[in-house]
Structure 1
Amino acid sequence: MAFRRKMPATALSHLSFGIAMTAATTVTHAQGSVIIGGLLDESVAVYRDNGGHSNVRMQDSAIYPSKFYLRGTEDLGGGLQASFSLDSMISLSTGALDPQSRGALFENSAWVGMRKVGIGGFRLGQQNDFAFDYFLIGAIDPATGIAGGMLNFRTGSFGADLLGLKGPAQIGAGLAAGAPYPPYTNAAGAPVGMSAINWDRVGGKRMSNALKLTTDEIGSFSAGLMYSFGEVAGDFQNGSGKSAAIGYHHGETRAAVVYTEQNYGAVNGGQSGIANFLAGARTKVSRFDFSGMYSQARNTFTGARIYALAGGIGYELTPDLVLGGAYTYENGNEQLKNVIIHQGALQLTYTFSKRTAVYLAGVYQHTNGAYAAEIGNILASGKIQSVAAVGMMHRF
């Protein structure tokens, strides 16, 4: 997504999630501040599949996740700062917590940390891994950076096979064990499948009980390491996770490489899970934005694997009106029935101010028939699905 020329898309992505707090309410004390802010994204969407079926619905978080946060910093002197963050994902359609929060008020993030300006720091608590930091907040991802937003994430209806779960009983047990993908249910409400929406973690998948180490940008480069303690007595690996990243930022150019591995109770008794690898870059030339990335998910126990190639181009029609297009190709191996997915997206965004924008977005998906098409956890009746959304975003 791009905004006014004086505020490049990457900078506005930072604003969206409170990294730059110009639209937030700040309570300042002598040596620190507490910030109340958020981002709201709501739209009306029309889903349609190759069977001629249509579904008109309110769409939460079509482009960016709607959220409310409390964040604070304290100056400890000598360039040392203490900080915290408490973030909630919310559904504007109902006023409730977002379903992926599973009833937890601050599931989106809850951490406390310390940082030395110019060097880096650490955070302790529940937090997103580096795929979210570099590819969504850093706006490298062609989906949230160029066109289609969260509706254009890498996705598919193969989540159960990616986790190695077969049949309703295993799927139900996997959900109870904290499987990362949302279920599909039959008319009786029993889980019969799983969406693999956000399988490369760019949209944010939290690590609990986590220690995160990050550097500030030094000579245009930054890096980070993260470890999530499984906290299962006598079984150090059960449910544990790790993430590492190297990033580059110079002017309008950003690039990053991220590796994340998270074990789940649903995979090999918590000893195995999903490993993700991402690499991508974004740059701006005159009125054009260019973005491209490669991402992969691999089951470390069964070997099920899917990869995606995505690219996008954005163009400033005027300083306030931006048109973007993106294309994604996904390819799965034998365990995922050799699925192939083609996905395209267009987005037109008009920015009223630094805080308010409206958009028209469309996403089209075509599979080879190995699995039904799926966008935004809405399952099609066949191998084609599309969605068009008109909506509004506002920061506060």
Structure 2
Amino acid sequence: MKNPCMRAAALAATTLICANVCAQSNVTIYGVVDEAAAYASNQNGNSNTYMRSGSLSASKIGFLGTEDLGGDLQALFLLESGFEADTGAQSVAGSLFNRQAYVGLQSRAWGSVTAGRQYTPYYLLVGSLASSNILTGATGAHPGDFDGLDTTVRVNNSLTYSSPVWRGLQASTQYGFGEAKDGNGAGSSFSAAVKYSASPAEFALGYLKLKNGQNSNAAGWSDTASGNFGVSAINQGYVSAESIQFVAASARYTFGKFMVGANASNVQFQAGSASAFRDTAVFNTAGLVASYQAAPALFLSAGYSDTRAAHANDISDRARYRQLSFEQNYALSKRTALYAIEARQLAHGQTLGASGNVVNAVASIGDSQNGTPSSNGGQTAVMLGLKHAF
């Protein structure tokens, strides 16, 4: 385009178009880079000192966008990818936006409807008050995060409705389409939760049901299921379940610089005709958590949980897991923090191994040791790290 007037006109038109688009829509890029030096006293029989990504907050990058559609209506989307800061690899190989990927509509008066890969209302409302959020899932989640109160449960092909907050009360429900052709809802999921906040107290109650996929068999959880979950030494004997039911409640109370909270969960791994176990396996957990803002830059927290399994599947001495966790967080700025986290877990009794045989229970702290449990009933973990949010 050689004509100066034409070039100027084109530039002016492009500027006007861009200004119009930018005025109506907004995209935010955000993320976290979190890296720690970690020590575990026993990982499959040996102690280990290593680097670990995402010990306080998961390392991730996300894109959050909204567009004003007029009146009280907005379009929104979220794309979030987790990565390993120590290697640069994706947190889930072959899945770019492995944490969340959804699109939807929202209104201040009517709430929001979103569709895609999402967290469950069970986690978003109940988990937000649980130990995994106040401490960290790496060492503060209940053993193996078997009750899904941290971020290990995500649901594909899901449709979620969340109400607006009305006088401190919010409700949300979600359905995950199993997309099986048999019409029986194989691989589907359902979650519902309510949360009530009236400072200084908060309370939440939630439900989640995950169904195995259409190709479910004794080999484990089908990749056709809409919902996945964390697998560890705590629940590896029950991954061939026909379905899993989660019920949990959490509450906390804040007074001044102190916060105290309590949580409880009931998880049932329900057997089917192709499962590697016979009886429904039930795990009950009770937990306590507390925090203290010791100084403007110093945050301290601690948590304790006690998990007990019910008698079933020829187990005479049912498994029990007790875990104590601590966190010290020093903010260098609003975006950068140094932290230390520590935890100790004791396990005893019996559970089912991966092949469905009765084995001695072993310790597996939080959800940081899901693939590296202890070889016995004790495990200690210590992590020292640096977190930067942008």
User: Cα distance 1:304–1:362, how it changes in 2: closer, same or farther (>3 A)?
Assistant: same
Tell me how far 1:252 sits from its aligned partner.
Answer: 4.1
Equivalent in the alignment of 1:367 = 347
Are 1:327 and 2:318 an aligned pair? no
Shift of 1:214: 0.6
Please give the secondary structure, in 2, of the residue aligned with 1:213.
strand
Q: Shift of residue 236 of structure 1?
A: 3.5
1:131 partner SS: helix
In 2: Cα distance, 1:363 partner to 1:127 partner: 29
Residue type of the partner of 1:211?
L
Q: CA deviation at 1:335?
A: 3.4
Partner of 2:332: 352
Q: Map 1:152-301 onto structure 2 (within 5 A).
A: 152-155=140-143, 197-204=144-151, 205-265=153-213, 266=216, 272-301=242-271
Deviations 1:182-211 (A, max 9, x none): xxxxxxxxxxxxxxx222122221111111
State whether structure 2 residue 20 is matched by structure 1 residue 43: no
Structure 1 residue corresponding to 2:117, chosen from 123, 126, 144: 126
Gap runs ≥5 in structure 1: 1-27, 156-196
Residue 111 (structure 1) shift: 0.8
Counterparts of 1:334 and 1:63, CA distance in 2: 35
- Cα RMSD (Å): 2.1
Whether contact under 8 Å (2:337, 2:388) holds in the other structure is: yes
Q: Per-residue CA shift, 1:6-53, capped at 9, x if unaligned?
A: xxxxxxxxxxxxxxxxxxxxxx81112011111222111110039984
Counterpart AA for 1:290: V
Report the counterpart of residue 385 of structure 1 in structure 2: 379
Q: What number of residue pairs does the alignment pair up?
A: 323
**Separation in 2 of the partners of 1:149 and 1:242?**
23
- Using the alignment, how far apart are the partners of 1:305 and 1:249 within structure 2? 30
Larger radius of gyration: 2
Q: Is the 8 A contact 2:132 2:149 kept in 1?
A: no
Separation in 2, partners of 1:50, 1:93: 19
Gap runs ≥5 in structure 2: 1-20, 226-240, 272-278, 351-360
Q: Corresponding residue for 1:305?
A: 282
Query: Contact conserved, 1:128 with 1:206, CA < 8 A, in 2?
Result: yes
Distance in 2, matches of 1:123 and 1:141, equals 24
> Distance in 2 between the 1:198 and 1:85 partners?
25
- Distance change >3 Å, CA 256–CA 306, structure 1 → 2: same
- Counterpart of 1:334 in 2: which secondary structure? coil
Verify: 1:72 aligned to 2:65, yes or no. yes
Q: Which amino acid aligns with 1:353?
A: S
Give the Cα–Cα distance (whole angstroms) in 2 for the partners of residues 254 and 353 of structure 1. Answer: 28
The answer for the alignment partner of 1:316 in structure 2 is 293
Deviation at 1:267, TM superposition (A): 6.0
Q: How far off its partner does 1:369 sit?
A: 4.2
d(CA) in 2 for partners of 1:210 and 1:335?
33
Aligned residues of 1:81 and 1:117 also touching (Cα < 8 A): no
Matched residue, 1:114: 105
Residue of structure 2 in register with 1:151 after alignment: 139
Residue of 74, 77, 90 corresponding to 2:83: 90
Amino acid of the residue matched to residue 73 of structure 2?
L
SS in 2 for 1:58: strand
Q: How far apart in 2 are the matches of 1:240 and 1:50?
A: 35
Normalising by structure 2, report the TM-score. 0.78
Q: Is the 8 A contact 1:229 1:236 kept in 2?
A: no
CA contact (8 A) 1:121 1:213 kept: yes
Q: Secondary structure at the match of 2:75?
A: strand
Deviations 1:91-145 (A, max 9, x none): 11110111xx242111211111001113202001111101321244x3x112330
